[in-house]
Amino acid sequence: MVDVNVYVSLQQSDLHCISAFESIRHSLGFTALKGLRRYRLLRVSVATESKDTAEAEVRRFIGMAFDIVNPNKESVTFGDISGSPDSRDVCIGMEVAPMEASLRGVSAPSLARFPMIQAVDQCLFWVLTLAKDGMDDATLIRTAEAHCGPTRSRSQGLLINPLFETVSVRRLS
Q: What are the sequence ranges of the domains in the chain? A: 2-171
pLDDT at 151 over 90: no
- Per-residue pLDDT of 62-97, as tens digits, reads 998 888 888 899 999 998 887 767 778 899 999 999
Mean pLDDT, the chain, integer: 88
**How many angstroms separate the CA atoms of 166 and 100, rounded?**
10
pLDDT at residue 55, rounded to an integer: 94
User: What percentage of the chain carries pLDDT values higher than 70?
Assistant: 97
The candidate with the shortest Cα–Cα distance to 125, out of 46, 49, 64, 38, is 38
Q: Write b or e for each residue in 3-35: b if 16 or more Cβ atoms lie within 10 A of its Cβ, otherwise e.
A: ebbbbbbbeeebeebeebbeebbeebebebbbe
Confidence of residue 102 (pLDDT cuts 50, 70, 90): confident
Q: What is the mean pLDDT of residues 129-154?
A: 84
Q: What is the mean pLDDT of residues 99-118?
A: 85
88 vs 128: which has the higher pLDDT = 128
| Helices (runs of H) and strands (runs of E) counted in the chain | 3, 6
Confidence of residue 155 (pLDDT cuts 50, 70, 90): low
pLDDT at residue 127, rounded to an integer: 94
Report angle CA 172, 166, 37 to the nearest 5 degrees: 40
Strand ranges (E), the chain: 2-10, 33-46, 74-78, 89-98, 117-131, 165-171
pLDDT at residue 148, rounded to an integer: 84
